[in-house]
Amino acid sequence: MKKIAIIPARSGSKGLSNKNILMLMDKPILAYTIEAAIKSENFEKIIVSTDSLEYKEIAEKYGAEVIIRNEELSNDNATSYMVIKDILDKNLEIEYDYFVLLQPTSPFRNSEHIKESIIKFEKNIDKFDFLVSVAESSKASILIKEIDQDESLKNYNINFSNYKRQKFKEYYPNGAIFIGKKEEYLLKKDFFGERSIAYFMNKEDSIDIDDKLDFELAILIMNAKNKKEQLIKNIKTRIEEKKNLFKEKKEITLIGHSLFDNWNIKKFKEYEVNNLGIRGINTKQYQDFVLKENLITKLGNYIFLMAGTNDIVIENWKKEDTLLWLKDTISFLRKINNNVKIFFLEVPRVISRLDRSNEIILNLNEFLYENLKGKVNYIKLDKLQDKFGNLNIDYTDDGLHFNEKGYEKLYEILIKEIKI
């Protein structure tokens, strides 16, 4: 189906001056939306509606067509409906089935979000006339009330002594994506109601820049996203650094992440060790970047496999994902040496970490223990824990990675548990 993208970008803003063209890292905020629309490869036209010649020049530089608004549509009284109608009423010299409104103040709404929302809308187009992107609210609507001029809380008239967080989820329109059929929108003048379907987005990608605090938060999120990209580069660099080790064959091979990579171990008992741990890597990445690339061509008779802690921090991760990736990893390794004996070291606990939860780790370990029976020799690492079930603080400097004493304890555990 044919569709157009509409990007409204007025120059005036009371909350944050010229917010649509503020530089977010290396480009104006407006550019992120134009580039996402182009990258989605879904639109006959990508149209920026603006009242500014400066905005026009920026929009055209990044690949959009521009329509300059008249004065009536450039003041604070102009509504979104008026701006959209102005474009829909014009002769755009193309036929299209519907339009997609993309507000430039949502820079983390990317091409994948656009493509997914379009697929969802077209799949349900007979039942729905509109689609609106939403995010889960962190505040229950029952807690949001108007406060009168007397500044009293009289409108909070529920019994808060029995208040509990609601079990059901509530959502709000995050402003990132609106889709509508032309005639239906012109008639209804908004995107909501029973003929509208929701497209769900996470909280991070739902940032809508309206004031200085929003913008500063966007900078933090952008830095975090860049950090993820840098992590992948670091992983690939580390793999390249170990390329010669992948060709070696020693009696014991370590497969895993930083907890192995950081371990300065040359021998286990009398056996030589080939340490193929890669810092920062998750189980799926080890498959994709190492095993599927056939970097490992030789294996000795024993493998120590440690995986899972970096899976936990993947967005929308489920314990079933790690199990699937581990089964595939085991299959890959047995194709290289069908007689190899695999010892799987469970995910160690952490202490005082925001990014990882011991409750999740415990649940994952129990799940893996039950589902890897008969496939590997499962090694429990509970002796690394303190009496509260955390990683013993004596064994770590950052709550996650082992220090020298931690590796000494790990070696002690493995000596007792592994019989080779």
pLDDT tens digits, residue range 344-375?
A: 999 999 999 999 999 999 999 999 999 999 99
| pLDDT recorded at residue 71 | 82
| pLDDT recorded at residue 15 | 73
CA–CA dist 381, 410 (Å, integer): 8
Rounded average pLDDT over 197-225: 94
| pLDDT recorded at residue 5 | 98
**Is the pLDDT confidence value at 216 over 70?**
yes
DSSP 69: P
- Residue-averaged pLDDT of the chain: 94
**Is the pLDDT confidence value at 166 over 80?**
no
| pLDDT recorded at residue 420 | 87
Which range of 2-16, 67-81, 405-419 scores highest in mean pLDDT? It is 405-419
Run of H or E residues at 182: helix 182-188
Intra-chain end-to-end CA distance of the chain, in Å:
63
Which range of 144-158, 165-179, 380-394 scores highest in mean pLDDT? It is 380-394
Rounded average pLDDT over 155-174: 79
Assigned fold of 242-417: Rossmann fold (3.40.50)
| pLDDT recorded at residue 168 | 76
| pLDDT recorded at residue 315 | 86
98-156 pLDDT, tens digit per residue, is 999 999 999 999 999 999 999 999 999 999 999 999 999 988 888 889 999 999 998 88
**Is the pLDDT confidence value at 165 over 70?**
no
| pLDDT recorded at residue 219 | 95
CA–CA dist 357, 79 (Å, integer): 46
**Is the pLDDT confidence value at 163 over 70?**
no
| pLDDT recorded at residue 367 | 98
Whether residue 109 contacts residue 179, with contact meaning beta carbons closer than 8 Å, is answered with: no
Confidence grade of residue 306 (pLDDT, cut at 50, 70, 90): very high
DSSP string, 106-168: -TT--HHHHHHHHHHHHHTTTT-SEEEEEEE-SS-GGG-----TT---TT--S-GGG----SS
Assigned fold of 3-140+167-225: Spore Coat Polysaccharide Biosynthesis Protein SpsA; Chain A (3.90.550)
CA–CA dist 298, 327 (Å, integer): 19
CA–CA dist 291, 284 (Å, integer): 10
Confidence grade of residue 157 (pLDDT, cut at 50, 70, 90): confident
Most distant pair of Cα atoms in the chain: their distance: 83
392-420 pLDDT, tens digit per residue, is 999 999 999 999 999 999 999 999 999 88
Domain boundaries, the chain: 3-140+167-225, 242-417
